[in-house]
Amino acid sequence: MDLVFPTPQEAEAAFYEAFQSANLEAMMAVWDNDADITCIHPNGKRLQGRTMILESWQHIFASGVEMRFEISDAQYIQTALTSIHTVHEYIYMNGDRRRRDPVIATNIYRLTNQGWRMILHHASLTPDTSNAVEINTPSSSTILH
Amino acid sequence: MDLVFPTPQEAEAAFYEAFQSANLEAMMAVWDNDADITCIHPNGKRLQGRTMILESWQHIFASGVEMRFEISDAQYIQTALTSIHTVHEYIYMNGDRRRRDPVIATNIYRLTNQGWRMILHHASLTPDTSNAVEINTPSSSTILH
């Protein structure tokens, strides 16, 4: 699949379209080819390079969960060659219409000879809490800062 | 406080030094002055601009938890004006010497007239699990992708 995205916004739209249609080929067409591309799924480990990243999407798409994305509150920091986006991902699964807390994603795109390509996706959860920041005691199992 | 960091690596070292010494002034000296700076603490909401970000560090530092950081596995994607880092943060709290699962952070620095400054910090948890990616059913309270 040989797609060229003239703007980082078009690459981002293609990313979420591939995500919700579980289209592995379209998903990997959004990602750059370099070894330094990085993907961190919510609560996941850091994945680097096309092989690890492709395998993670295969795993996600194989689950058969039907996902619809509503992307909102996009903020952009754009330079000539790099575009840094943070967005709120509202995800509706298997026809559920309730709006849950969003996943927060940092998406970074790079201008390549083949247009804009994704080089980083870092997504994290926001629990249903009004506290933006919480620190647990050392006895608890998770560390929040 | 008027600090100038000639490289993004020096800005990053200052960030973690300010973090573990709970030094609010030193912490804010690392961050850029623009309204678009963004900070996402683990499981936290997206914070934007100096006021929200400063308040979050005040809150963290006021907890009195003593934190020591070990930063490892740094990966850099550097362009002329932007430097994108992903690192593993091993955090030791209140003298605890056990190495727990790391926090994964994406740290982004921008070259300004006052040297390199942080423009984004996005940190997320890695639970003690061998599964890099997990999808929960719609009935569960959290959404992982």
The whole-number pLDDT of residue B145 equals 57
The whole-number pLDDT of residue B100 equals 87
Residue with the two structure tokens 């247009």? A115
Chain B partners within 8 Å of A54 (Cβ): none
The ipTM is 0.86
The whole-number pLDDT of residue A1 equals 67
The whole-number pLDDT of residue A128 equals 55
Q: Which residues contact B21 (CB under 8 A, 6 or more apart)?
A: none
Over residues B106-132, the pLDDT tens digits come to 999 999 999 999 999 999 998 753 333
CA-based nearest distance A3→chain B, Å = 23
The whole-number pLDDT of residue A94 equals 87
The closest of A58, A56, A45 to A124, measured between CA atoms, is: A45
**Which runs of E-coded beta strand occur in A1-145?**
38-40, 46-48, 67-78, 82-93, 103-112, 115-125
**Is B43 an 8 Å CB contact of chain A?**
yes
- Sign of the Cα pseudo-torsion (B7, A45, A15, A32, in order): positive
The whole-number pLDDT of residue A127 equals 72
How far apart CA A56 and CA B108 sit, in angstroms, is: 24
Nearest to B145 among A60, A81, A108 (CB): A60
| Number of CB atoms found within 10 A of residue B62's CB | 11
**Is there a contact between A46 and B138 if contact means CB atoms under 8 Å apart?**
no
Over residues A71-107, the pLDDT tens digits come to 999 999 988 899 999 999 999 988 888 888 999 999 9
Q: Over 50: is that where the pLDDT of B137 sits?
A: no
Set out the domains of chain A in order of their start, with CATH numbers. Answer: 8-127 (3.10.450.50)
The whole-number pLDDT of residue B99 equals 87
Q: Locate A17 and state its tokens.
A: 């379209």
Closest chain B CA to residue A94: B138
Which residue numbers in chain A have pLDDT < 70? 1, 128-145
Question: Comparing B138 with B5, which gets the higher pLDDT?
Answer: B5
For residue A86, what are the CA distances in angstroms to A76, A122, A125, B36, B119? 7, 9, 13, 10, 12
How far apart CA A120 and CA A38 sit, in angstroms, is: 5
How far apart CA A52 and CA A39 sit, in angstroms, is: 9
The whole-number pLDDT of residue A85 equals 98
Over residues B44-99, the pLDDT tens digits come to 999 999 999 999 999 999 999 999 999 999 999 988 899 999 999 999 988 888 88
What's the rounded mean pLDDT across residues B22-44? 95
The whole-number pLDDT of residue A39 equals 98
- Among A32, A34, A46, the strongest candidate for a mutation testing the B interface, having the largest count of B CBs within 10 A, is A46
Q: Over 50: is that where the pLDDT of B9 sits?
A: yes
The whole-number pLDDT of residue B31 equals 98
Q: Locate A130 and state its tokens.
A: 């009004």
